[in-house]
Structure 1
C-alpha cells in the first residue's frame, strides 16, 4: 500500500460505505394501482381501562356487500396498552372496487390480569363481524380508524369478543395538513400536524419521492420516480388534479418550487437532467443538463439560483433560474449530498454521506470554500431553522440528531430518536421538527424548545420526504 494515492484510498472507502449504506435501504418498487383500490386501517390508542388486557388477532378481512371476503395484511397482531400506546398502522390490502359492509376479525387468544395472575379468556372460534360501511374506489386509497371498546369486549370477566368502532377519514383542516411520501407503498400519508396523527392516505403513481408544497395555491407536487412524472395534488380535497409527464427514464427524485410558485424544478436522476416545469399549465417547458446522478436540489432564498447535488460526478451544478442554464459547477464530495442556506442566504452548508465534514460555501458567484468542520460520517439529513439559525443534522445508522451552532459548528445538544433521520421539516406554527425515521417507517415529532420527542406516528413503507402547510 506504500505510495498508494490518498484520493484512491478515500474513493475505495467511499465505495465501501456506499455499498454498506445503500443495501439495507433497497426497496422493490411495486406497481401502482390499476383495477383495484386499497384499504388502510389504523388503530387508535387503547383506552386506559384496557391496561389489564392482552389479546391477539389472527386475521382481518374486508366483507363486501355480496358477502365475499378479502383478507388484509396485518402489520401487527398483539394488542396491549404497552404495545398500542399511540395510534398504530394496523392493516392494509388491495381490494376490488365497490361497497363494503363489515370487517371480519379472527381472535387468536386473550388474557386478563387479576389478583392471581393472567387468566385466559374464552374467545370466539369463528371470526367476529364488525359492522361498518365504506367504499373502495378504483386507483384510490380508503382510510379508516378503529377505536377499541373495552367495556363491550370483555364480558363478565370470562370471555372476550372484540368490539371496535370504525370511523372513515374526514377532510382535515387544510392549514394543519402534512404529507409523507412513501416510496415503497406508492402512497402519501396525510397527517394532522397539530394532533400529530394520521388522518388519511392518498394513492399515487409508482415510486413517490420528493415533495413540494405551494402554500398559496394549496397544491402539492410529488416526484414519481417510477412513472417519470410529477403528480399534482389538491391539498384541501386530498385528490389528484393531474399528472405532468416527463421523458422516459427521467426518474425524478426531488423537487424545488420558486417562492412565487411559478416555476417547478425536478431533478431527473435517471437522465442527468433538471426538468423546468410550468406548474400553472402543467407542462415541462425546458430541460437542463447537469452532472452525473443528480439526487438533490436546493433553491437560494430569493429563488434565483438552484443548486443541484450530483452524487456520482461529485459536483454541484448551479442553475440560473431566469436563463435556465448552468452558470457554474463546483467540486463536491462522494455520495449523497444535501445543502441548506443560512437564513440571510450568505452561506451554503453542505453535508456529504461519505465525507466527515460539513462544508461552508459562499453563494454564487464566488462559491469559495470558507470553512469546513468535522461532524462525522454518514450525514444524510440537514435542516436549518430560519428562526434560530441553528442547524440540525441526522446521520445514517445513528439514532441521534445533532444540533449545531452555525458559525463554529459546535454541537449544542443531541436529540435521541429510535432510528436514523432521513428527512426533516419544521412547522413554523407549532415550533416542532417532523423527522422521517427510515428504520421504523415512522415520523418522530420533536419539540424545538425542549428538544425531546413528543410524538410518533406510523407511515408507509420506505418513507422518503415530508412537507407541511405552514413550514418554515
Structure 2
C-alpha cells in the first residue's frame, strides 16, 4: 500500500465482520472524469461519482466541472476521499458514506496526488506542474501552507508514525524527505532517474517507481535514508503497494509496458526477492491492497477495468469494468457503514463504450516494439491513447490512420530514456477502425518520424 493503515483498525474490522461488506475500491478515471466505486466483497461495480463532463463540453470556456480526474487519497477515519484533478487544478473532498462532494480546493498548476497526514488534520497535495506541496486544512477547505520541493513533486506519503513525509519527483532526480514537525526538508535522496509518479511507505522502507527508466528504488525510511536496492522492473513501471499476510511481507509493482504485476518478498536486511510475475490486462496502472492482505486490486489504464489478485495464489480472480483510463486506485477499509454507501452513484453511460487494440511489429524479426491502444467514446468524438514500448530512446514517431484515400497523421510522440511513449489524440477514430457493411475498416500504424520518410514500426493486428 502507499501507506499502512493502523493494524488495530484492520483487526477490529475483520473481527466485526465489516472488513468485507463495508470496504470500497475506488478508481480515478481520467477521461470520463469519474470516480468508479467497487464492492470488494462481491467484486462488482456499484456505480460512479461524476465530477465532470465529457469532451467537448469540458473544453468550453464556461465549463466548471473537474477535468482529468487522476489522483486519490483517503482520510485516516476512511470517511473522506480526496480526488485530484490535473486539468482543473483541484482536489475534491467526497463523503464515502453518501458519495457526495463535501468541498473543493483549487491549487497551482497540474496537481498530481494527495494524502492525509496520519492525524487527519492536514491534506498534503503535490503540485507537480510547479515545485511545492500544498498543505490544506480539510475542515476550512483552504490552503494553509506551501512547502517548496524539487521541481515536479510526484506524490507524497507519510511514515506511519507521521514523523516524515516522502516526496519523489517527476521532473528532477531527487526524493525529498520532509520533517512534518518543522515542514523542512531534512534529506534529498538521489533518484536513479527523474520520473517517479508513485511510492509506498512503511516504518522501515520507501519504495518508489521510476516510470521513465523502468526501475523501482528501495530506500530506508530511517535516517540517513540510504538507498537499499534498485530493481529493474520493466517499461512503464507505474505504481507500487505493500501487502502483509500470513505468507509474509510483499511489495506489488505494476509494469504497464509488459502488462504485468511483479510480487517481491520483503525481508528486513535482505534484498527484495521476486516471487511472482502476474499477467494482467492492458496497461496496469494504479494498485492497492485489501485491508486484510488477501487481495490486491489493479487498475487497467488501457483496459477500462480493475482486476483482483488473490495474494496467496497470485492469480487473478475477478475483472471489473470501470470508467475510462483509470489512473490511481485505492482500497478503503470501512468506507461505508450501511447500504447508504451505494447512494448517489450513477451508471457508466458512454464510458463503457470503448475499443482496445494491439499494435505489433510488421515482421517476425527481433523487434521488441509493442503498443496497446484504447479508444474511448466521448460522445461525438473519441479519445485515443497509445502506450508503446521497445522504441528507440529519444526518437520521434507518428501514429497514422491508414486505409483511406491517403494516410492521416493522428499524433507525433517521442520515446523517453526507456524507449517508452504514451500519447493521446482525439477524433472519430473508433468508427473508422471498425468495419461496416458498406466500408472496410481503416487501421492504425506507427512510423518513425524521419526526414526522408518514415519506416513502419508497428501495425494493427
- TM-score over 0.5 for the alignment? yes
Question: Residues 226 and 357 from structure 1, CA distance in 2 versus in 1: closer, same or farther, beyond 3 angstroms?
Answer: closer
Which structure is higher in RCO with an 8 Å CA cutoff and minimum separation 6?
A: 2
Question: Residues 411 and 364 from structure 1, CA distance in 2 versus in 1: closer, same or farther, beyond 3 angstroms?
Answer: closer
How big is each residue's C-alpha offset from its partner over 1:264-293, in whole Å with a ceiling of 9 and x where there is no partner?
Answer: 100101222110011122121101111111
Aligned: 1:236 with 2:97: yes
Separation in structure 1 between the aligned mates of residue 334 and residue 294 of structure 2, nearest angstrom: 10
Separation in structure 1 between the aligned mates of residue 144 and residue 307 of structure 2, nearest angstrom: 38
Higher gyration radius (CA):
1
Aligned: 1:371 with 2:232: no
Query: What secondary structure sits across from 1:397 in the alignment?
Result: helix
Separation in structure 2 between the aligned mates of residue 417 and residue 202 of structure 1, nearest angstrom: 26
Determine which of 188, 211, 223 is the counterpart of 2:84. Answer: 223
Partner of 2:28: 181
Aligned residues: 296
Do the aligned partners of 1:311 and 1:334 also contact (CA within 8 Å) in 2?
no
Separation in structure 2 between the aligned mates of residue 413 and residue 230 of structure 1, nearest angstrom: 36
Separation in structure 1 between the aligned mates of residue 76 and residue 41 of structure 2, nearest angstrom: 17
Partner of 2:50: 203
Do the aligned partners of 2:172 and 2:195 also contact (CA within 8 Å) in 1?
no
Counterparts of residues 18-57 of structure 1 (less than 5 Å): none
Moved more, 174-183 or 308-317: 174-183
Determine which of 75, 78, 87 is the counterpart of 1:214. Answer: 75
* TM-score normalised by length of structure 2: 0.60
Moved over 4 A (4+): none
Unaligned runs of 5+ in 2: 1-19, 52-65, 336-461
Query: What secondary structure sits across from 1:413 in the alignment?
Result: strand
Cα deviation, residue 174, structure 1? 7.7
Cα deviation, residue 429, structure 1? 4.2
Moved more, 290-299 or 174-183: 174-183
Determine which of 113, 119, 122 is the counterpart of 1:254. Answer: 113
Determine which of 380, 383, 397 is the counterpart of 2:257. Answer: 397
Determine which of 300, 305, 317 is the counterpart of 2:159. Answer: 300
Aligned: 1:444 with 2:291: no
Do the aligned partners of 1:446 and 1:454 also contact (CA within 8 Å) in 2?
yes
Query: What secondary structure sits across from 1:404 in the alignment?
Result: strand
Counterparts of residues 63-212 of structure 1 (less than 5 Å): 175-204=22-51, 205-212=66-73
Do the aligned partners of 2:22 and 2:334 also contact (CA within 8 Å) in 1?
no
Determine which of 108, 123, 129 is the counterpart of 1:270. Answer: 129
Partner of 1:339: 199
Question: Residues 394 and 177 from structure 1, CA distance in 2 versus in 1: closer, same or farther, beyond 3 angstroms?
Answer: closer
Question: Residues 347 and 467 from structure 1, CA distance in 2 versus in 1: closer, same or farther, beyond 3 angstroms?
Answer: closer
Separation in structure 2 between the aligned mates of residue 453 and residue 213 of structure 1, nearest angstrom: 26
Partner of 2:142: 283
Cα deviation, residue 201, structure 1? 1.3
Separation in structure 2 between the aligned mates of residue 208 and residue 379 of structure 1, nearest angstrom: 20
Partner of 1:362: 220
Question: Residues 282 and 398 from structure 1, CA distance in 2 versus in 1: closer, same or farther, beyond 3 angstroms?
Answer: same
Cα deviation, residue 360, structure 1? 2.8
Query: What secondary structure sits across from 1:389 in the alignment?
Result: strand
Partner of 1:386: 244
Do the aligned partners of 1:428 and 1:471 also contact (CA within 8 Å) in 2?
no
Cα deviation, residue 217, structure 1? 5.7
Separation in structure 2 between the aligned mates of residue 422 and residue 235 of structure 1, nearest angstrom: 23
Separation in structure 2 between the aligned mates of residue 435 and residue 468 of structure 1, nearest angstrom: 10
Separation in structure 2 between the aligned mates of residue 308 and residue 428 of structure 1, nearest angstrom: 24
Separation in structure 1 between the aligned mates of residue 288 and residue 44 of structure 2, nearest angstrom: 16
Determine which of 298, 316, 323 is the counterpart of 1:435. Answer: 298
Do the aligned partners of 2:192 and 2:217 also contact (CA within 8 Å) in 1?
no
Question: Residues 353 and 430 from structure 1, CA distance in 2 versus in 1: closer, same or farther, beyond 3 angstroms?
Answer: closer
How big is each residue's C-alpha offset from its partner over 1:413-442, in whole Å with a ceiling of 9 and x where there is no partner?
Answer: 221112232111111247211101112111
Separation in structure 2 between the aligned mates of residue 318 and residue 293 of structure 1, nearest angstrom: 15
Query: What secondary structure sits across from 1:461 in the alignment?
Result: coil
Separation in structure 1 between the aligned mates of residue 284 and residue 214 of structure 2, nearest angstrom: 17
How big is each residue's C-alpha offset from its partner over 1:295-318, in whole Å with a ceiling of 9 and x where there is no partner?
Answer: 222211212211111122111111
Question: Residues 457 and 177 from structure 1, CA distance in 2 versus in 1: closer, same or farther, beyond 3 angstroms?
Answer: same
Partner of 1:326: 185
Aligned: 1:468 with 2:293: no
Do the aligned partners of 1:426 and 1:471 also contact (CA within 8 Å) in 2?
no
Query: What secondary structure sits across from 1:385 in the alignment?
Result: strand
Partner of 1:353: 211
Separation in structure 2 between the aligned mates of residue 430 and residue 305 of structure 1, nearest angstrom: 25
Unaligned runs of 5+ in 1: 1-172
Partner of 1:316: 175
